Each structure stands twice: as structure tokens, then as C-alpha cells.
Amino acid sequence: MTAESPYERWRRAFTAATTRQKSFTTMSGIPLEPVYGPPDGEFPGIYPYTRGAHASMYRSRLWTMRMFAGFGTATDTNTRFKEIIRSGGTGLSTAFDMPTLLGLDSDDPMALGEVGRCGVAIDSLADMRDLFADIDLATITTSMTINSPAAIMLALFIAQAEEAGVARDRLGGTLQNDILKEYQAQKEFVFPPRQSMRLVRDTMAFTAAAMPKWNSISVSGYHIREAGSTAAEELAFTLANGFAYVELAREAGLPVDAVAPRLSFFFNAHIDFFEEIAKYRAARRIWARWLKDHYGATDERSWQLRFHTQTAGVSLTAQQPENNIARTAIEALAGVLGGTQSLHTNSMDEALALPSEKAARIALRTQQIIAHETNVAHVADPLGGSWFVEELTDEMERRAEAIFGEIRGFGDGSMLEGCIRGIEENWFQGRIADSAYQLERLFNQGDRIVVGVNDFLEGNDEDDPSILRITNEDEAKQLVRLDQVRRDRDDSRVRDAIDRLIREAAQPEVNLMPALIDAAKAYVTVGEMMSAMAGVFGRYVEVPSL
Amino acid sequence: MTIRVLVAKVGLDGHDRGIKVVARLLRDAGMEVVYTGLFQTPEMVATAAIQEDVDVVGLSMLSGAHLTLAPLVVGALRDRGSDIPVVVGGIVPNNDIDDLREAGVVAVFGPGASAEQIVSIINSLVPQSL
């Protein structure tokens, strides 16, 4: 018996999939195939997945229009969430404020001026309950963009869902939980890298066992790119981090096929259209090859790289902010042509402030226009076979492989060790800063034009659009709320939960998730849980470098 | 005499792309640049500025906390008897610029400020000795 060819396998998978329309044609009625290419070529949904993670791609289901939101108190953000759901958003994505991201309570002296400003303030189970009030967590998936306190936020989420009657195994969503890129780029770290990785291990093991619909890590290149890396560095650092988490799980005795299918990815969609598309195509192919060849994964889902995309915040300009609608539309289109599974489009006013409701709506409408008016989602990987895009895809892969070689070199063959040592020695941070500086020089020398910034300036003097103002009132409200929580809770239960957390944190082989869920239910605050762990783990201080 | 600038990140804002790029641009312009790292308090910045004997303090603020934190840095310097000028760069809505000036911030560089503008304003803040 001859083995099925890739084409035959694709045909079978495509035929088995449901499609969201009976037929797919151009606007003028020309019938369209689900994918184009030679019969002996690559196909979407078939190893090595260059052409897409799934055989039927957007014919089965459009990407998830997942709009990132969060500001002020949990109640404010809950209102915005409901607005997103009403206007057709199909997933939620939570932005936390800086104190929460760094595991500080709102009344910590360092939190002054930051409470509720860049996202929502979450101090305890009481806030988590307000955040998801009247939202059915069994039917909508939720993404939480948090890293250092990711395990705590997962514990709070489970505690409030179970209180609302939704068991943990029914919860679908994603925890960002990608601590490596925090040290490399985003810089919201608390514990030293190795101690942080223990918490990542615990969340991976816990969700693999108890939460089959949960993505344990969203391995994120977005922030690496925003911090200034090139596209190839974004690709390579992100996948290297992904490999490091696979190795971490393996060291903890978790089979690769138990964890890899629950890793998802998060890439930037920057303004260089074709380079971005090549980056996504290369990412899928590299991941598939490494998981199969280096890590011995046999489950196809381990090979399939699925990713979320966000348009590039750094590409937005404060000057003539309406132009950002055009930039975002082009970037979003790259994400879709590159086969993203979900997409956040930035709002035109984000170089000035958090988005206003109107600006956020236009951003969502941009996705809806791409999805429903342009027909670009009818055919999988429409740029596959373009000599240019195929060559750029290959070049992205070559550059990424060269960088993997360097990182494994630091780790004496281990990607996990290489990533950690690269952080400890400021290698990633230095490369990102170098690339950011190179780009800035091109721009300062006028070799790179940004419309409204160094050319085409007419219109720059017009007034800013009305932007969202976060007042200090939200901070005051949150402080009152936190004070109330501290007064209403059972102090002896709090003490017991903290004692258990400290005890178990000191035992590296113990999974901390049960102790954290117990603490969440006892209304131990985020800051208290972090302090308890910091007493055992220590705190990380980055050596400043320019 | 070489102009010395302390560039600083105050509070919890970890966005350090801008500060690193600006620091290198200032160095390219012949200035000496001191960077004390992330998560500094206003007091830490004031103390470092005085110890390092800098001519200008530049704060990089992208999280929206500038109206709270920049005045505290100016205050901490003045409390220590220092008149080192403070400038702010980052995401600052136009409407906030007057408030920052009132609080003693001498210049604000928004997104898109060119290297030339930043260098020339910092030069203008430092009395040139002969």
C-alpha cells in the first residue's frame, strides 16, 4: 500500500472539515478553490505547515477577533468587555495595569499614579469577580496578558469561575505566561529567571493535567519586536523561547505531546507587509521541523504552530493619528494572509493614550472589513508560490537557524540554558537595543520615511482626537475597594494560606498551583502572594546597560 | 566641557526602547550619559543626579503616569537643594504639557521628536562655560 501523498491527506482533511459558506467565489462570481498550487507541493494543515495550521483555514472559521482591553477598575473593564461582545468580538483579552503586571497591590507605594492606567487593576478575587461579572466563561475564551504573576492570575481566574459554576476543565483561554521575553524585552520581571521558570513549569503541568482547553503559554514575539528587534530576531528569539519551554517541560518529566499542543504563539504585524507574511510562514515550518526532529513529538497538534497577531504599536504615530487606521489595516491584512488564528488591531489613538471607545470600534471594524468585504479569507495562503514570498520565507528560516545556533552555543547544546544565560549576560537585550538604534538612525538620516513624522507634515497641527483620560479617581476607588477586602476576609485563613505558599515555594518539586488557588479563595491579595514567594525566590535586578 | 545627562525610568514602566535609543543619540552628540536602570523612585533619581553631578535629568515615561511622577522628581531634586533641569520624553498628550511645565519640567519631547531637537534643547539648557 502506498502512503497517502500530502495532497491526498489535505484533501481528506479538507473534506472532513465543515465550511462556513456553501460556496466561495470572487465578487464577480468566479468560483475559488480552497488552496492553489501544484499537486506535489505543500498544503495547509499538512506537515510542515508552511501554508497554514489547518487544512480548511478560514473556510471553516474566521480568525478570532480578539480585542485587548482593560483600564480603570474591574467594573470599568467589565463594561468594555460587554461592549466588545455586543459589537461582535469573539474573544476577550485582558490588559492589566502596571502594578498588577508586577505583582504589586494597588496600595503599594510604587503603584502611585499607575493604578488602572495602562490596564485593569486586579488585587484579589473580589476584583476578578467584578471583571467577569455576567460573562459566560464556558462559551467565550479569555486571554490574560500577564507574566510574572501569571500563576496567581490563573489561580484567581479558576477560583472565580468555579464560584460562578464553571469547572476548570471547561475554561478555554490563554495565559501569556512567557517569562523569558520579559527579561529580554518587556521588562516586567519580579523573580530571577530560574525561579520564574519553576512557576512556568507548574502552570504547564497543572493545565496539562486539569485544563484541556487552556493554552498554558503564549510565546510572544510581539514585545521583542516592539522593543526594537528585526523581524528575523523576533522570529528566532520567540521560537527559541518556545523550544526552551518544551525543554523545561521535558526536564520536569512531562511528555512533549502533553504540553506542546497547549503552547500558542503571539507575533507582531509590522508595516513591512511581505516580510511579515514570510515570518509567519517560516515560523510554522521551523516549529514543525524542530518539534518533530529535535523533540520527538508525534502528535500532529504538537507540530502545528498556532498564533495570535497584534498590529505594531510602534508603527503608529502621534502626528495625524487618523493615518494609523491605514497602517493598522495593512498590518492586519498581513496577519490574515499569513494565516493568523486570532488578531488584535490597534486603535488610531494609541500613540497618544489608551484607546477611546470609538477608536477601538474602528479598529475592530477594520478586521470585519477584511473578513467580510474583501474575500481574502476564501483561499488559504494566497501568496504561497510567489517566488518573492517563498524566497523571503526561506531567508527568514535561514536567519532564524543561524540565531538558534548562537543561543544553543551559550547553553552548551541546551536551548533552555541558552535562553537563560543569554538573558543573564544581556545578550538578547543588547541585540534588541542595537537593532532599535540602527532603525532610529535610518529614520534620523531621512533614509526611512514615516508619514507625518519626517515627511508629509501638513496636517500635523490639527488638534488631537478626543482621547481616553484615566483620572486618579479610579486609583482612589480601587484603594477603597482593596481596603474593604482586607477588612472583610478571614485573617486566620489568610495566614494559613500564606504559610502554605511559603512552605511549598521552598520545595522545588512541589507544584504551587493548588496553594495559589487556595490563597486566591482566601482573598490573599496578588501583592501578598508575590511577597510570600519573593521571600523564598528573591527578586531580580537587571544590570542597567545602554 | 562635556555635558552630562542622567536618563532615568521612574516607577513601574518597563518600556526601555526609547531611553536606550535616546541615550545613544546623546552619546553620538558628544554627551556623557548615565543610566541607572528600571524601576527607580523619584528619590533614587534625585540622589543619583546629584552624586553623578549631571547637567540635565531626562525622564522617559510611556505609561501615562507622567503627571504623577515627573513633579515628584523635580520636587526631590529641589528638596535636596539642586536646580538641575528636568526634561521628559515619551507618550505625553499635548494637553498635559502645560501641567508638566508648571510643575517645573523645562522641556517635553513627544513621539517623533528628532534627535536634532533633543540635542539642541539639552544644549540650550546647559550654560556653556568658556
* Residue in chain A nearest B94 by alpha carbon: A464
Query: Which residues lie closer than 8 Å to A491 by C-beta, 6 or more apart?
Result: none
Question: By the 8 A CB rule, do A310 and A222 touch?
Answer: yes
pLDDT band, very low/low/confident/very high, at A1 (cuts 50, 70, 90): low
> Is B129 a domain residue?
no
**Residues A470, B64: C-beta atoms closer than 8 Å:** yes
Q: What is the DSSP string of A416-454?
A: HHHHHHHHHTTHHHHHHHHHHHHHHHHHHTTSS--BTTT
Nearest to A290 by CA among A245, A346, A352: A245
Distance of CA A264 to CAs A43, A215, A279, A465, A497, Å? Answer: 21, 6, 16, 36, 32
Query: For residue A342, with 0-12 CB atoms within 10 Å meaning exposed, 13-18 middle and 19 or more buried, which class applies?
Result: buried
Sign of CA dihedral A215, A7, A61, A335: positive
Q: What is the DSSP string of A154-173?
A: HHHHHHHHHHTT--GGG--E
Residue for grid cell 517563498: A390
Residue A357's pLDDT is 86
Q: How many domains are there within chain A?
A: 1
**Residues A187, B15: C-beta atoms closer than 8 Å:** yes
Q: How many domains are there within chain B?
A: 1
Alpha carbons A521 and A93: distance in angstroms, whole number:
23
> Is A357 a domain residue?
yes
> Is B37 a domain residue?
yes
User: At residue A242, does pLDDT exceed 80?
Assistant: yes
> Is B86 a domain residue?
yes
Cell digits for A47? Answer: 506537515
Residue A319, chain B, CB below 8 Å: the answer is: yes
pLDDT in tens, A47-94: 999 999 999 999 999 999 887 788 889 999 999 899 888 887 778 889
pLDDT in tens, B76-113: 999 999 999 999 999 988 889 999 999 999 999 988 78
What's the mean pLDDT in A163-176?
A: 94
**Residues A318, B110: C-beta atoms closer than 8 Å:** yes
One-letter amino acid for residue A181 of the chain: K
Strand partners, A268: A310
Show which residues on chain B lie within 8 Å of chain A, measured between beta carbons: 11-17, 20-21, 23-25, 27, 33, 35-39, 41, 63-65, 67-69, 91, 93-95, 110-112, 114-116
* Residue in chain A nearest B19 by alpha carbon: A546
Nearest to A342 by CA among A171, A140, A524: A140
- Helix, coil or strand: residue A111: helix
- Please, what is the Cα angle at B102 between B110 and B88, to 5 degrees? 30
| Percent of chain A whose predicted confidence (pLDDT) is above 90 | 87
Alpha carbons A526 and A156: distance in angstroms, whole number:
9
Alpha carbons A429 and A423: distance in angstroms, whole number:
7
Alpha carbons A115 and A71: distance in angstroms, whole number:
9
Range of the domain at B84: 4-124
Give the other-Cβ count within 10 Å of A450's Cβ: 16
> Is B99 a domain residue?
yes
Distance of CA A363 to CAs A82, A226, A288, A334, A337, Å? Answer: 17, 19, 32, 15, 18
pLDDT in tens, A489-514: 999 999 999 999 999 999 999 999 99
Q: Which of A97, A108, A110, A112 to mutate to test the interface with B (most CBs of B within 10 A)?
A: A112
Distance of CA B40 to CAs A541, B10, B69, Å? Answer: 11, 5, 11
Taking contacts as CB-CB distances below 8 angstroms, the residues of chain A near B31 are none
pLDDT in tens, B18-60: 999 999 999 999 999 999 999 999 999 999 999 999 999 999 9
Give the CATH number, domain containing residue B26: 3.40.50.280
Residue for grid cell 494572509: A337
Question: By the 8 A CB rule, do A265 and A242 touch?
Answer: yes
**Residues A546, B13: C-beta atoms closer than 8 Å:** no
Cα radius of gyration rounded to whole Å, chain A: 23
Sign of CA dihedral A273, A237, A185, B119: negative
Q: Are strands B105-109 and A141-145 parallel, antiparallel or unpaired?
A: unpaired
Q: How far is A436 from chain B (nearest CA, A)?
A: 7
Range of the domain at A435: 57-444
> Is A490 a domain residue?
no
Q: Which of B7, B17, B67, B100 to mutate to test the interface with A (most CBs of A within 10 A)?
A: B17
> Is A3 a domain residue?
no
Give the CATH number, domain containing residue A385: 3.20.20.240
User: At residue A545, does pLDDT exceed 50?
Assistant: yes
> Is A456 a domain residue?
no
- For the ranges A167-176, A354-363, A509-518, B33-42, the lowest mean pLDDT is seen at A354-363
> Is A310 a domain residue?
yes
- Please, what is the Cα angle at A270 between A20 and A392, to 5 degrees? 85
Question: Dihedrals φ, ψ of B16, to 5°?
Answer: -120, 10
> Is B130 a domain residue?
no
Question: By the 8 A CB rule, do A168 and A211 touch?
Answer: yes
Question: By the 8 A CB rule, do A189 and A179 touch?
Answer: yes
What's the mean pLDDT in A242-270?
A: 97
pLDDT in tens, A137-155: 888 889 999 999 999 999 9
Alpha carbons A17 and B111: distance in angstroms, whole number:
48
**Residues A98, B13: C-beta atoms closer than 8 Å:** yes
Taking contacts as CB-CB distances below 8 angstroms, the residues of chain B near A117 are 63-65
Q: How far is B127 from chain A (nearest CA, A)?
A: 27
pLDDT band, very low/low/confident/very high, at A118 (cuts 50, 70, 90): confident
In this complex, the residue of A186, A319, A440 whose CB is nearest that of residue B14 is A186
pLDDT in tens, A300-327: 999 999 999 999 999 999 999 999 999 9
Residue for grid cell 499537486: A39
Question: By the 8 A CB rule, do A292 and A47 touch?
Answer: yes
User: At residue A212, does pLDDT exceed 50?
Assistant: yes
Question: By the 8 A CB rule, do A117 and B64 touch?
Answer: yes
**Residues A104, B21: C-beta atoms closer than 8 Å:** no
Residue for grid cell 520615511: A449
Taking contacts as CB-CB distances below 8 angstroms, the residues of chain A near B20 are 433, 436-437, 546
Which letter does DSSP use for residue B130 in this model? -
Nearest to A224 by CA among A31, A488, A459, A400: A400
Residue A3's pLDDT is 84
In this complex, the residue of B12, B15, B16 whose CB is nearest that of residue A114 is B12
pLDDT in tens, A380-435: 999 999 999 999 999 999 999 999 999 999 999 999 999 999 999 999 999 999 99
Taking contacts as CB-CB distances below 8 angstroms, the residues of chain A near B25 are 440, 444
User: At residue B114, does pLDDT exceed 60?
Assistant: yes
> Is B80 a domain residue?
yes
Q: What is the DSSP string of A315-356?
A: G--SSSTTHHHHHHHHHHHHHHHTT-SEEE---TTTTTSSPP
pLDDT band, very low/low/confident/very high, at A156 (cuts 50, 70, 90): very high
Residue A45, chain B, CB below 8 Å: the answer is: no
Taking contacts as CB-CB distances below 8 angstroms, the residues of chain B near A546 are 20, 23-24, 27, 33, 35
Q: In what order do the strands lie in the sheet with B105-109?
A: B32-35, B4-8, B56-61, B86-90, B105-109
Alpha carbons B20 and B35: distance in angstroms, whole number:
9
The residue among A466 and B98 whose pLDDT is bigger is B98
A459: left (phi over 0), alpha (psi -120 to 50) or beta: left
> Is B60 a domain residue?
yes
Residue A68's pLDDT is 78
- Helix, coil or strand: residue B72: helix
Residue B129's pLDDT is 52
pLDDT band, very low/low/confident/very high, at B130 (cuts 50, 70, 90): very low
Residue A470, chain B, CB below 8 Å: the answer is: yes
What's the mean pLDDT in A441-446?
A: 90
* Residue in chain A nearest B68 by alpha carbon: A113
